[in-house]
Amino acid sequence: MNQEIDKQNFVVMVVDDDPTILTSLTLLISSLGYRTLSAKDGINALELLNSQICDLIITDVVMPRMDGLELLHHVREEYPTTGVIIATGYSSRASYAEVIRAGAIDFIKKPIEHAELEAKLTRALREQQMLRELEKQSLCDELTGLLNRRAFDKRFPREVERAARQHYPLYLAILDVDRFKNYNDTFGHQAGDKVLAAVGDILHLCTRNNVDTCFRYGGDEFAVILPQTSISQAIKVIERILQRFRKMGFGDTDISIGMAPCARDNALPLSEDMAQLIDRADKAMYRAKAKGIGWVINNP
């Protein structure tokens, strides 16, 4: 498949504890047209990944604090859409088979040759582009353009665990369109689809790009994951959503929103803990709907 790569939309991170290699390899990759990041070891790389989008990592194996194989493990667990190429010296004991079994997408020997690096980058990023497109199609709701329930089920546990590790607050909001069935029955399915599509647009407008994540949870229900957000910031987001929807004037429809903080309870199995966190937001949403007050926060 001859698919053109838009190099400027792909970010490659170089990880190496040797400052000379780090600088020269970063400059080489930049000269090939890719956007680059650099990190001096695995810990530094994970810090960057927490705030930067990265498509591909080229990492040395032997480094202080966190080596390349440890970094690979964390990336596979926390950033599964980011590919990793392991770079090793000829004396390294890490073999091609070992790093591929560990989850790397490729392996390159040091000293790195220009032509080999360029070929491996081209192949790796073409594969990443194709995989992301396939993943996007499988996880996207066609009507609203939001992520779907399958995507939520994959993303939510990862976000809760990451928030627990990095000690920042995380909120989950569950939204339901009130009286949607009556509106759909009265005005027809096409009109109902316009309501749902409008909610999708509103969620995109009222949340932070590349930080918050919005989902069509099912039917006329939606969900928003709000990481690194204070309670006052989360309230502002859901109030903006309500105001924008009410200005749309879709008959007597409205939105009810339930929100809950999501702190991991390590005493519970992950699946049970996730179910309880979702249930808190869901119950808050039903209380908001019953009282007709727009939104409710369910604090534990």
Q: What is the DSSP string of 232-298?
A: HHHHHHHHHHHHHHHHH--TT-EEEEEEEE----TTS-HHHHHHHHHHHHHHHHHHHHHHT-SEEE-
Residue the block writes with tokens 């400052």: 19
Rounded to 10°, the helix 180-187/189-206 angle is 130
- Tokens for 65? 């604090």
Contact call for residues 267 and 150 (beta carbons, < 8 A): no
Q: How much is the pLDDT for 94?
A: 66
Q: Between the CA of residue 73 and those of 55, 66, 117, 164, 196, what are the distances in Å?
A: 16, 11, 23, 18, 39
Strand partners for 177: 255
Residue the block writes with tokens 């996730």: 274
- Tokens for 198? 């409008």
Q: How much is the pLDDT for 93?
A: 59
| Residue 282 is among the residues annotated as catalytic for this protein | no
Q: Between the CA of residue 198 and those of 137, 141, 151, 241, what are the distances in Å?
A: 20, 13, 20, 11
Given the residues 41, 220, 254, 282, the one annotated as active site: 220
The verdict on pTM exceeding 0.75 is no
Residue 79, φ and ψ in degrees, nearest 5: -135, 65
Q: How much is the pLDDT for 98?
A: 81
Contact call for residues 105 and 134 (beta carbons, < 8 A): no
Mean pLDDT by 10 residues, the chain (300 residues): 65 95 95 94 93 90 91 90 86 72 89 92 86 80 94 93 92 97 96 97 94 95 96 96 96 96 93 95 96 90
Domains of the chain: 7-139 (3.40.50.2300), 149-297 (3.30.70.270)
